[in-house]
Amino acid sequence: MILKVEDLTVRYGIIEALHGINLEVAEGEIVSIVGANGAGKTTLLNTLAGIVKKSQGSITFCDEPVPVAVHKVVSSGIVLVPEGRRIFGSLTVKENLLMGAYLRKMSKSVEDDLDYVLTIFPRMKERLKQQANTLSGGEQQMLAIGRGIMSKPRLLMLDEPSLGLAPVLVKEIFKQILEINKTGVTILMVEQNANQALKLATHAYVLQTGSITLYGTGQEVLKNPEVQEAYLGHGRRTLRKQEKAQNK
């Protein structure tokens, strides 16, 4: 396993946000975490990234304990693309991308990675000199993911990559996530678009009020009746059909 989380608990004061989380990610997988707002998904990713400190439990990456300092977590190969993109709005697209390589020495490999990002996100190539805060929401998300790639991750963690995007852009973002994974980058993704996230996932977890309540392959979780009712709305659609039939 490239990532192993055991009995992870996180507290904010007296409030326990995560309750003994156990989670594994194998190298080369796409693992999705789905759950309602407030379930603890972002807290989990922030803890893995070193932004939030764990209260107890262990986090192991490539058979080594994850470092405490955030910059050392990034250097170890764990990179988080946060919810809300958090790009540097006053910098250009190129400057944002190079900020992702801040902990790396400028070299041919950095230039190669920049070329790769511009290949999978051709819109960024067209806007290299453009100020980042003038980009559309979808373009900003592409930039945020591209900046993450520039950090040379072994594990790329994505927090709500489709949030606020139009359906056509959602499809494009998920297509590029799959392409990134094909290059050997392991993906751990938090996503409210459960249908897309589970279709893409090798394995998936359901997180409810700070606890893992379900684990399986992406398809197993996608077909689970409780998941369909809670996150895909299948039960509600069935009920509406029944009501319409009764009213005829």
Beta bridge partners of 156: 79, 187
- What is the mean predicted confidence (pLDDT) over 143-152? 92
- What is the mean predicted confidence (pLDDT) over 44-59? 95
CA atoms lying within 13 Å on the CB side of residue 98? 12
Query: Which two tokens mark 193?
Result: 């678009």
Query: Which two tokens mark 76?
Result: 């170890």
Q: What is the pLDDT of residue 239?
A: 34
Residues 228 and 158 in one domain: yes
Q: What is the pLDDT of residue 188?
A: 97
Domain count, the chain: 2
Domain coverage including residue 240: 3-77+154-247
Q: What is the pLDDT of residue 237?
A: 46
Residues 72 and 161 in one domain: yes
Residues 161 and 70 in one domain: yes
Residues 160 and 57 in one domain: yes
Residues 104 and 17 in one domain: no
Domain at 23, CATH number: 3.40.50.300
Residues 100 and 73 in one domain: no
Q: How far is the first Cα of the chain from the last one, in angstroms, to the nearest whole number? A: 55
Q: What is the pLDDT of residue 167?
A: 83
Residues 174 and 201 in one domain: yes
pTM score, whole prediction: 0.87
Reading phi first (left if > 0) and then psi (alpha if -120 to 50, else beta), residue 212 is in beta
